[in-house]
Amino acid sequence: MSEKTDPKPDQGPSPIGEISQEPSALEAFLDANQKKLVIIGILAILCIVGYVIFDGLGKKDERDAAGLLAAARTVPDYDSVSKKYEGQNAGGSALMLKSQLLWRDQQQQEAVKSIEEFIENYPEHPALGSAYTSLGSYQQQLGNTEKAKEAFGKSVDTKSSASSLALLSLGDIALTLGESEKAKELYERILTEYEKSHFQVKTMAEQRIKLIGVKAPTDKAPEPPAPIIVPGVTTPPVSVPELPEATTPAPQTPGKPTPVPSPATTPDISKETSDLPELELPEKNPPPATSGTPSKPEAPSTPEAPAPPEGE
C-alpha cells in the first residue's frame, strides 16, 4: 500500500476554500435598492434643510417679539404684542407686564383681570408660578384673604422660582391671623424645601421665626426728665435790669476818660428809662493841670500889621 494516500475528509486540516468572486450581500442590496436609497437620502437632506429654515424663522420671530415686548411702554402697546403673538410666550409675557402697569396706575380690577387671563390662556408658560404669586399679592392688598391664600397655594404647587416667596406670604397671612404655629410651619418649609437655593427668602423666613412668640412691650416707657435750666447755659430772653434809685457816678480819675460801652453790648433802655430822671454826665473837658505838672505856656499871638494911611 502506497504511503501517498489522500487523507480522509475528517482527518488533518481542512483545505483552504476558494475565494468567492460573487458580489457580497451588501453590494447586492445596494444594487437592488440604489434608487430607493437615493430618494431617501434626498428626503433626509430636505428635512434637515427645512428644519434649519423653520428653526431660523422661529428664532427670528422670537427675536422680533422680544424686541416689541421690550419697546412696549403703554397698555395699548402690550395689547398689540399679546394679540400679535397670541399663544406664544411673548404674548403671555405681554399680559403679565400689562397687569403690572395697570396696578401701578391704580387700576386694580383691570390688573387682576389681565393676570387671570394670562393664567387661563398660558398654563405652560415658564412664568406661571410668578403669575400666581402676583395674583395672590393683588388679592391680599385688596383685602381678599381667602383668594390670596388660594393663589399663593397654587404658586407653591408649581415648584417654581416664586414658590418660596408664596410660602413666605402664606406664613405672613397666618401670622396676621394669630396662627403662630401654622406660620412657623410654613416658614420652616422654606428652610427645608429650599435648602440650597432661594437664599434671600430663606433669610427672611429665619428672621420671622425668631420673632414668633416675642411679645411687644406693653409698659409705657418713662417720660424723659424735664431739662434743667442752668443760668448762663441757655440764652434767656433779653431783660433790662432796673436802675437803682440813687446812683452816684464814680469819681473820674484825672487823665482817664470815662469808658463808653460798646453799642453791640449796650441794651436799648430808652423805653424802659423814659420816666427816670436824666443823669448829668461829666463834661468832656480835658482834665485840669495839676500843680506837679506845669502847664504849657501859650504861644504869643502875632500882632497885626497897621493899615496904611489913606492918602498914600
Q: Residue 269's closest CA among 306, 308, 245, 243?
A: 243
* Element containing residue 189 per DSSP (H, E): helix 180-193
Residue 13 has pLDDT above 70, yes or no: no
For residues 108 and 217, give the distance between their C-alpha atoms in angstroms, rounded to a whole number: 37
Instruction: Kindly state the average pLDDT of the residues 202-213.
Output: 90
Ordered domains of the chain (ranges, CATH): 34-125 (no CATH), 128-213 (1.25.40.10)
Q: State pLDDT tens for residues 217-226.
A: 555 556 666 6
Q: State pLDDT tens for residues 129-177.
A: 999 999 999 999 999 999 999 999 999 999 998 999 999 999 999 999 9
Instruction: Kindly state the average pLDDT of the residues 287-310.
Output: 52
**Lowest-confidence segment of 32-36, 53-57, 194-198, 237-241 by average pLDDT:** 53-57
Q: State pLDDT tens for residues 248-271.
A: 555 555 555 555 555 544 455 455
Average pLDDT, the chain: 73
How sure is the predictor about 2, in pLDDT bands with cuts at 50, 70 and 90?
very low
For residues 155 and 120, give the distance between their C-alpha atoms in angstroms, rounded to a whole number: 14
